Amino acid sequence: MKELNNKNCFLTGAASGIGRSFALALAKEGINLFITDINMEGLVKVKEEVEALGVKVIAEKCDVSKFEDFDRCAKQFHSKLGDVDLLINNAGIARGVLLENINLDDWKKVIDVNLWSIIYSLKAFIPKMLERGSGHIVNVASAAGILGSPEPLSYMASKFGVVGISEGLYGQISRFGIKVSVIIPLYIKTNIFFSGEEAKYPKKLVDGIGEEKLQEISQSMLEEMYDKAKSPDSVVKKYIAQIKKDQLYIYDSKGLLSVLAMKGANPKQYEEFLVKLNRDFRTSREAHFSKFGINLDDYL
Ligand SMILES: NC(=O)c1ccc[n+]([C@@H]2O[C@H](COP(=O)([O-])OP(=O)(O)OC[C@H]3O[C@@H](n4cnc5c(N)ncnc54)[C@H](O)[C@@H]3O)[C@@H](O)[C@H]2O)c1
């Protein structure tokens, strides 16, 4: 999709982070927007910012884990804006805890928001796109959707699912004139760092150090990661440039490409990489706790 001016976009998770940056950057390109979120306070603020840029904007609540919300919004979209040219499935959550504390409710919540959302969105929007033979679907996945990492397993499973749907769709739907892209962000400075559930730690550690101290340490670990992350405005500019080129995979970190190549060309080395990545994560967590005078080995 080379030209965005005067086109229509449906966007989820627009109240914050990557979604907010998408809304503002697309409005600057002259695209009309139907922005959605569950955080209505944040969404109304983004709507005001977008309106100031002179495009049409509609803001509605859409809980992406509910098909009825997509169905309602899709009907409103078609009656108020017309055809969907760009469908951006961005909303997502990161929660889930250490392997020792698998929580089935967390799993369900993450899969509902991150994966079922894509299925519901396709069900709501694809029929009219197929009828018309045009449109571009953009799914926001994650580096945790192409490589094994120390992220929660539920998050990885959901994002691998998003990547799988996107690849399959790309092959199946291109003959109907519909484009597909999947975005693979890696550490972007957004609220997702802080909006997940508080980390749960093994009982021995909680009893030894206290819940409050543990949360303070977790928070400072997240803040360190956040400080190193990239700005959402800067990556979204790159995402839009690649959407305009109708590219399937959209990355913001070139470093990922060599690891992906390794996965195909040298499986043994990749297995070692997976183990090392987790070891490095544990080492850096231990180092962080030691800054607070705590030796994690004494508690795990
Ligand atoms: N920030 C990163 O480092 C990073 C890395 C990889 C992938 N991602 C992905 O990028 C996407 C955007 O996340 P972000 O980093 O901008 O985080 P964010 O928390 O700033 O924004 C996510 C938005 O989704 C909304 N949301 C959450 N649950 C929802 C629901 N059930 N229905 C509708 N909206 C809901 C939130 O209210 C929020 O406005 C997510 O899919 C996330 O998994 C982010």
pLDDT digits (tens, 9 = 90+) for 114-136: 999 999 999 999 999 999 999 99
Instruction: Please give the average per-residue pLDDT across 276-298, as a whole number.
Output: 91
Instruction: Please give the average per-residue pLDDT across 280-292, as a whole number.
Output: 91
Cβ neighbors of 212 (< 8 A, separation 6 or more) are none
**Residue 220 clears pLDDT 70, i.e. is over it:** yes
- The verdict on pTM exceeding 0.85 is yes
Distance in angstroms (rounded) separating the CA atoms of residues 205 and 173: 51
Instruction: Please give the average per-residue pLDDT across 46-68, as a whole number.
Output: 97
Ligand 1 pocket test: which of 11, 12, 16, 47 has the largest number of ligand atoms within 8 Å of its C-beta?
A: 16
pLDDT in tens, 7-28: 999 999 999 999 999 999 999 9
Answer whether CATH 3.40.50.720 is correct for domain 8-190+229-253.
yes
Instruction: Compute, in angstroms, the gap from residue 241 CA to the centroid of ligand 1.
Output: 21
**Residue 83 clears pLDDT 90, i.e. is over it:** yes
pLDDT at residue 100, as a whole number: 66
Q: pLDDT category, 200, cuts 50, 70, 90?
A: low
Instruction: Please give the average per-residue pLDDT across 255-271, as a whole number.
Output: 97
pLDDT at residue 199, as a whole number: 64
Q: Is 15 in the pocket of ligand 1 (CB under 6 A)?
A: yes
Q: Is 140 in the pocket of ligand 1 (CB under 6 A)?
A: yes
Q: Which sequence positions are flagged as catalytic?
A: 155
pLDDT at residue 72, as a whole number: 98
Atom of ligand 1 nearest to the CA of 187: 3
Q: Is 146 in the pocket of ligand 1 (CB under 6 A)?
A: no
Ligand 1 pocket test: which of 66, 93, 119, 166 has the largest number of ligand atoms within 8 Å of its C-beta?
A: 93
Cβ neighbors of 269 (< 8 A, separation 6 or more) are 262
Q: Whose CA is nearest to atom 19 of ligand 1?
A: 192
Burial 111-147 (b: 16+ CB within 10 A, else e): bbbbbbbbebbbebbbeebeeeeebbbbbbbbbbbbb
Rounded to whole angstroms, the maximal C-alpha distance in the chain is 63
